[in-house]
């Protein structure tokens, strides 16, 4: 007879760790590094702290590594430390605000991978400025909860604030090295205000001191934008509303809906503004959700987002590639499923970008929420736009042959990642459209530049 069973979230990702970027011992090194670095960067720049991050990766046995990462971030409050590092789907980044973290999974997967390859617990030291808390823990997979092996509290006379995480795990650093370095170089492009120091197992140092003094101000949490919000979301918001809340009041829980817009929307839909929202029927909720898709609301205001900005993109591309010409386009904020996002695109041409690429492949540099994306580019929504939506010949360009580099950054309060390992971005229509519009604008600018350059060259030749 058939055995039915319930799996915990930790069991699911332990069973299916390839989904989270732990496909093999080489990929595991990359994933452990990037998950820890992204946690440290979030702990800094989401709180207006200029990141100073130290990472060391040491060889402790034949195929065994130990990673140690130390940041100057905001720290973890003591009552949350064990769950933050020991419970899958537990985290602080489930808000409507741009951050690298989004799943409440990454740190736990790195710890879990250490546990399954070496049996060793993770060591965490953290402080929010008061006492320093040291915790040694492992993950109870069946129950999806932390097992605390040891706890210690230290006084903090210098008010140190930040987090240190140390994990022993098996992995192949030699095969992973190029990708790890590429990740760090790409991070440098996106984050000129961050200092990252990396000591690798061969005692090589990757030193990336901050290039700029100032930092963009952190994004702030926003309300959901009405565009693309679905029935489940609206029902959740109705459930969490007080009993007396009217439809008119309820609509103002959405971004860009003030009392005037709310009244116009309710009138347009033919509903009663004073109706208690908890009394709405399923059909009326469906009508509201349909209306959200077709009514013209102001677009999102972008305050929950943190784009790179044209200056950072130009500086980064120039320092890495020294191109002859760069066209940058920043799209206005858009939304999908109620989440706002901004696409920034650039085309870099010539200079240090040479066309004897040999491989006849598109040169594509992808970022999402300032995270470098290195794997699985062929299925990324950006690659679909490049290969299916842009008529490059129309601009006199061929991205597979010309000395051309394509740069895409998606800054979103939720990035529609296709994998739990954040390898690539899903083919979401609203996102695809914004990338398409951004690249067409960049291509037009590049075409203009190249025609002008050609005319000048022809002029000189006479």
Ligand X SMILES: Nc1ncnc2c1ncn2[C@@H]1O[C@H](COP(=O)(O)OP(=O)(O)OP(=O)(O)O)[C@@H](O)[C@H]1O
Nearest to 344 by CA among 395, 306, 384: 306
Query: How many Å apart are CA 117 and CA 321, to the nearest integer?
Result: 39
| Two structure tokens written together for 137 | 């823990």
Q: Which stretch binds a second copy (CB under 8 A): 74-82, 158-166, 201-209, 405-413?
A: 74-82
CB of 125 to a second copy, least distance (A): 18
CB of 460 to Mg ion, least distance (A): 55
CA 113-115-117 angle, 5° bins: 70
- Hunting for tokens 């092996």 — which residue is that? 149
Contacts of 391 (CB under 8 A, 6+ apart): none
Instruction: Please give the helix or strand (H or E) that residue 437 lies within, else none.
Output: helix 429-461
- Work out what residue 40 binds among a second copy, Mg ion, ligand X, none; the CB cut-off runs from 5 to 8 Å by kind: ligand X
- Work out what residue 108 binds among a second copy, Mg ion, ligand X, none; the CB cut-off runs from 5 to 8 Å by kind: ligand X
Indicate the residue among 39 and 369 with the shorter CB distance to Mg ion: 39
Collapsed DSSP state (helix, strand, coil) of residue 102? coil
Indicate the residue among 431 and 437 with the shorter CB distance to a second copy: 431
| Two structure tokens written together for 57 | 């990766």
Indicate the residue among 69 and 346 with the shorter CB distance to ligand X: 69
CB of 230 to a second copy, least distance (A): 4
199 has which bridge partners? 56, 205
Q: Which of 51, 86, 104, 228 binds a second copy (CB under 8 A)?
A: 104
Q: Are 16 and 27 in contact (CB under 8 A)?
A: no
Q: Which of 28, 38, 44, 90 binds a second copy (CB under 8 A)?
A: 90
Q: Are 1 and 79 in contact (CB under 8 A)?
A: no
- Work out what residue 73 binds among a second copy, Mg ion, ligand X, none; the CB cut-off runs from 5 to 8 Å by kind: ligand X
Q: Which of 205, 232, 393, 461 binds a second copy (CB under 8 A)?
A: 232
- Hunting for tokens 């990252």 — which residue is that? 196
Residues that bind a second copy (CB under 8 A): 1-9, 11-12, 14-16, 18-19, 23-25, 27, 74, 77, 80, 83-84, 87, 89-92, 94-95, 103-104, 112, 115-119, 141-142, 230-233, 235-236, 282, 285-286, 375-376, 378-379, 414, 416-420, 426-429
């Amino acid at each position: 007879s058939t055995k039915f069973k319930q799996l915990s979230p930790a069991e699911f990702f332990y069973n299916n760790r390839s989904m989270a970027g732990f496909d093999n011992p080489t990929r595991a090194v990359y994933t452990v590094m990037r998950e820890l670095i992204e946690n440290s960067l979030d702990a800094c720049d989401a709180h207006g702290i200029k990141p100073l991050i130290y990472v060391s990766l040491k060889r402790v046995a034949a195929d065994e590594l130990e990673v140690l990462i130390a940041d100057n971030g905001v720290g973890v409050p003591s009552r949350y430390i064990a769950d933050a590092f020991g419970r899958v789907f537990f985290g602080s980044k489930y808000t409507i605000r741009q951050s690298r973290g989004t799943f409440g999974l990454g740190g736990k997967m790195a710890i879990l991978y250490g546990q399954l390859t070496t049996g060793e617990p993770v060591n965490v030291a953290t402080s929010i400025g008061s006492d320093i808390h040291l915790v040694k823990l492992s993950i109870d997979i069946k129950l999806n909860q932390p097992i605390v092996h040891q706890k210690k509290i230290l006084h903090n006379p210098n008010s140190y604030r930040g987090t240190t995480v140390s994990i022993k795990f098996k992995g192949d650093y030699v095969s992973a090295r190029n990708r790890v370095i590429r990740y760090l170089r790409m991070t440098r492009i996106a984050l000129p205000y961050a200092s990252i120091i990396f000591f690798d197992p061969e005692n090589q140092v990757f030193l990336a001191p901050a290039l700029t003094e100032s930092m963009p101000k952190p994004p702030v949490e926003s309300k959901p934008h009405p565009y693309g919000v679905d029935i489940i979301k609206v029902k959740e918001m109705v459930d969490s509303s007080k009993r007396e809340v009217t439809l008119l009041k309820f609509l103002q829980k959405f971004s860009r809906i003030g009392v005037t817009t709310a009244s116009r929307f309710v009138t347009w839909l033919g509903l009663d503004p004073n109706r208690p929202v908890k009394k709405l029927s399923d059909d009326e909720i469906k009508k509201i959700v349909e209306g959200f898709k077709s009514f013209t609301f102001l677009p999102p205001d972008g305050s929950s987002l943190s784009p790179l900005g044209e200056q950072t993109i130009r500086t980064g591309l120039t320092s890495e590639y020294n191109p002859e010409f760069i066209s940058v386009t920043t799209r206005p904020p858009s939304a999908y499923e109620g989440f706002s996002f901004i696409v920034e695109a650039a085309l870099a041409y010539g200079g240090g970008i040479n066309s004897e690429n040999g491989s006849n492949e598109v040169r594509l540099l992808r970022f999402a929420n300032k995270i470098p994306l290195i794997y699985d580019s062929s299925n990324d929504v950006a690659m679909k736009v490049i290969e299916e939506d842009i008529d490059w010949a129309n601009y006199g360009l061929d991205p597979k042959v010309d000395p051309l580099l394509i740069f895409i950054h998606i800054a979103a309060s939720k990035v529609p990642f296709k994998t739990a390992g954040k390898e690539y971005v899903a083919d979401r229509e609203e996102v695809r459209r914004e990338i398409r519009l951004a690249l067409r604008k960049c291509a037009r600018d590049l075409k203009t530049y190249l025609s002008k350059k050609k005319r000048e060259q022809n002029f000189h030749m006479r």
